[in-house]
Amino acid sequence: MQQYTSDPLRLPPAGGPGFYRADLELLGVDKSGPSFVLDVFVGNEGADEATAHEITTGWAGTMAVFAHGDCWGGVGHCDLPRGPLDRFDRRPPHPLTPANLSMEITVALRFLGAVDEVVVTILAQEADPDRSERAQILRFSELMLVTYD
Amino acid sequence: MTVTARAAPAPQPATLTLRPSVAKLSAAALETFRKAIEKTLALDDERGYEYFANWHGITLGYCRHHEDLFLPWHRAYLYYFEQALRAVEPTVALPWWDWTASAEIPTAYTETSDPAGNPNVLLKAPVKPWGPADQFPPETVRKVGAAPVQGPPYDLSYVMAASSYTDFEERLWGIHDTLHVWVGGTMGDPSWAAYDPLFWAHHCMVDRVWRIWQHSTHSQPPPASSLETALEPKGMRVRETLEVRGLGYDYVGTASAVAGTVPAAGATAGAVS
């Protein structure tokens, strides 16, 4: 199991108008490998596989990612990613173009009470327990916390 | 030289295909569905089951996930696959698996033989993609419940409450991904998922949920920028996927029909009781 712990993410100032919704957005997620599962916790840096999936532990949700799977093509088949070559290139984006994934975490975040920042912990594991685990199951470029007020 | 004029085809009334729940399939309708799968499995060309399984994963890989085209692409995909089934069994309709109502895979997809004692073609299917196959799995397998995710039944209230297309699609693909991973095995890998006959019942349900949300007053179309996008490989545009009746099918709970005042030239297709 891979554990990712974020740097603190800012929240709207305590005592302000607050927010009616909060989304956690994983940007540029690499889905070129096998399917995987993410357990997301807020305000619990020590969360691990033994941590209960309850709001009191900061659990915000579990997300399964139906990823691309192994490459079965020839050399270069899954090289990342080709974009449009020019304005005449009408081909759709390469299927391995990194994805942006979103999870609404409003309830879990509110449960933390009046805090100005929060640390997000993500536990990533292979969906198929018979697979030998990769060192880096979750690869992404940025984690963003968005609130709406 | 002899020239033979071909008779103009008699106009036929369009018939709507009513996609049923697997749980409500009559024994006869299930047999028809199995026959359609069996017949398309026997076709090694672009009319066949393997050809359509190729669209999704190995080797053609046209499927779209985690983006605006997820729902339109899969709706068009089901449409073309259903057309292929109806070419060999004209009354067949794709059934959906209602994973909001049951914690189990429907028995139609898990029993090892059909009532006649033949192998159940919905249990598994051979994996015979085009191209080099020495490392491909020989047939589909499932590892139900092995992944650390919640299995069905799933509650759709959060999905259906979405009031923007992006929210709705993201919430629905979350359940979609989870179900794929929960079934596991080849269903948990896009390369092979569409080879499993269960794939079609799962995606029929996803498409049905989209249809139901479209009935709501707060539903929205996909982003305008995507409406003219042509979906690979047949080129159906996103705009064309928005109205299921325009594609000749719908999802119903029940449907009953009685004779009218003139003989029916074409009955409503499907097997809904």
For residue A107, list chain B residues with Cβ-Cβ distance below 8 A: none
Question: Does residue B123 contact residue B201 with C-beta atoms inside 8 Å?
Answer: no
Distance from CA of B189 to the nearest CA of A (A): 6
The reported pTM is 0.81
Contact A130 B65 (CB under 8 A): no
Interface of A with B in 41-60 (CB under 8 A): none
Integer CA distances (angstroms), B109 to B82, B94, B101, B104, B219, in order: 18, 13, 16, 10, 33
Confidence check: pLDDT of B259 > 80: no
pLDDT tens-place string over residues B150-175:
999 999 999 999 999 999 999 999 99
Confidence check: pLDDT of A15 > 70: yes
Contact B189 A101 (CB under 8 A): no
pLDDT value of residue B265: 55
Contact B148 A102 (CB under 8 A): no
For residue B229, list chain A residues with Cβ-Cβ distance below 8 A: 92
Distance from CA of B159 to the nearest CA of A (A): 12
pLDDT tens-place string over residues B94-124:
999 999 999 999 999 999 999 999 999 999 9
**A29: helix, strand or coil:** strand
Question: pLDDT band at residue A73, thresholds of 50, 70 and 90?
Answer: confident
DSSP conformation class of B240 = G
For residue B168, list chain A residues with Cβ-Cβ distance below 8 A: none
Nearest by CB to residue A127, choosing from B61, B147, B174, is: B147
Contact A129 B69 (CB under 8 A): no
Question: pLDDT band at residue A82, thresholds of 50, 70 and 90?
Answer: low
pLDDT tens-place string over residues B171-210:
999 999 999 999 999 999 999 999 999 999 999 999 999 9
Confidence check: pLDDT of B80 > 60: yes
CA separation for the pair A20, A78 (Å, rounded) = 41
DSSP A45-80: TT--TTS-SSGGGTEEEEEEE----S--SSTTTTPS
Confidence check: pLDDT of B273 > 50: no
